[in-house]
Structure 1
């Protein structure tokens, strides 16, 4: 009985939809494709120029006048496994063990007071367990550019004391 009522109601709904008058819709207009007119662009005059540089760029060693040697570097060390953060102050030539890492601070530079503040530290980092190490400069202002890729530890330069 329920099936019969369901079939009848379905038939009534569909029949009502089919019984409606739809307005006559005109067919879409036909589009004719016409070729584009051929246009020739005028030629621009070509001039000759001398490719020799006017003057040579000055040969300045990178960082020779923009940085001042510092006395100690303040580093922030993160153990990713235990979430332990440690602060370490190292002088040039000093080393410190942190977990399986041995960190040696080779040099510390700071920008002069008349320039934007920044610190740079040259580090040698080795892992006793054979993990990836680091040998290079780390910048305090751009840690993502010069970060150490290690699965267990992060090292970040906080500042370099002049």
Structure 2
């Protein structure tokens, strides 16, 4: 994968994802390795990929995330999230917001 200006991206070993529970008014940071998932409340969050610019790892992160809610299978989410533009590919869930904060590096 490359960015719009054709800079190659490196793969992280995991990611930090932030989850907002709107009902409880609480945020939780999930630190997930690649190809792992964690249940949180009524949802399960899975991380498949996290990529970043090797020249500036803190500048941005691109994570492929899947969010499932067994009670609402029609609201499942599976897409790339971009740390600098969380609204570009946002989870549409009545209770939770999930966004990528950064990749974890090897």
Alignment TM-score > 0.5, same fold:
yes
- Larger Rg belongs to: 1
Q: Deviations over 1:37-56 (max 9, x none)?
A: xxxxxxxxxxxxxxxxxxxx
Q: Hey, what's the Cα distance between the residues in 1 that align with 2:27 and 2:49? A: 23
For residues 56 and 50 of structure 2, the distance between their equivalents in structure 1, rounded to whole angstroms, comes to 18
1:143 matched to 2:72? The reply is no
Alignment gaps of 5+ in structure 1: 1-61
| Deviations 1:42-84 (CA, angstroms, capped at 9, x unpaired) | xxxxxxxxxxxxxxxxxxxx42852100011001101011111
Q: Distance in 1 between matches of 2:87 and 2:8?
A: 22
Tell me: higher relative CO, structure 1 or 2? Use CA pairs within 8 A at least 6 residues apart. 2
User: How many residues are paired up?
Assistant: 101
1:108 aligns with 2:50: yes
Q: Superposition RMSD on alpha carbons, in Å?
A: 1.9
Partner Cα separation in structure 2 for residue 148 and residue 108 of structure 1: 17
Distance change (3 Å), C-alpha of 1:114 and 1:130: closer
Tell me how far apart the structure 2 counterparts of residues 66 and 102 of structure 1 sit (CA, whole Å): 30
Note the C-alpha offset of 1:128: 1.3
Q: Structure 2 vs 1, CA of residues 149 and 124 (structure 1 numbering), >3 Å: closer, same or farther?
A: same
Match of 1:84 among 17, 20, 26: 26
Unaligned runs of 5+ in 2: none
Instruction: Name 2:60's counterpart in structure 1.
Output: 118
Alignment match of 2:41 (pick from 72, 95, 99): 99
Alignment TM-score, normalising by the size of structure 2 = 0.86
Between the aligned partners of 2:57 and 2:80, the Cα distance in structure 1 is 19
Runs of 4+ displaced beyond 3 Å: none
Going by fraction, where is strand more abundant, 1 or 2? 2
Equivalence for 2:14: 72
Which structure: greater helix fraction?
Answer: 1
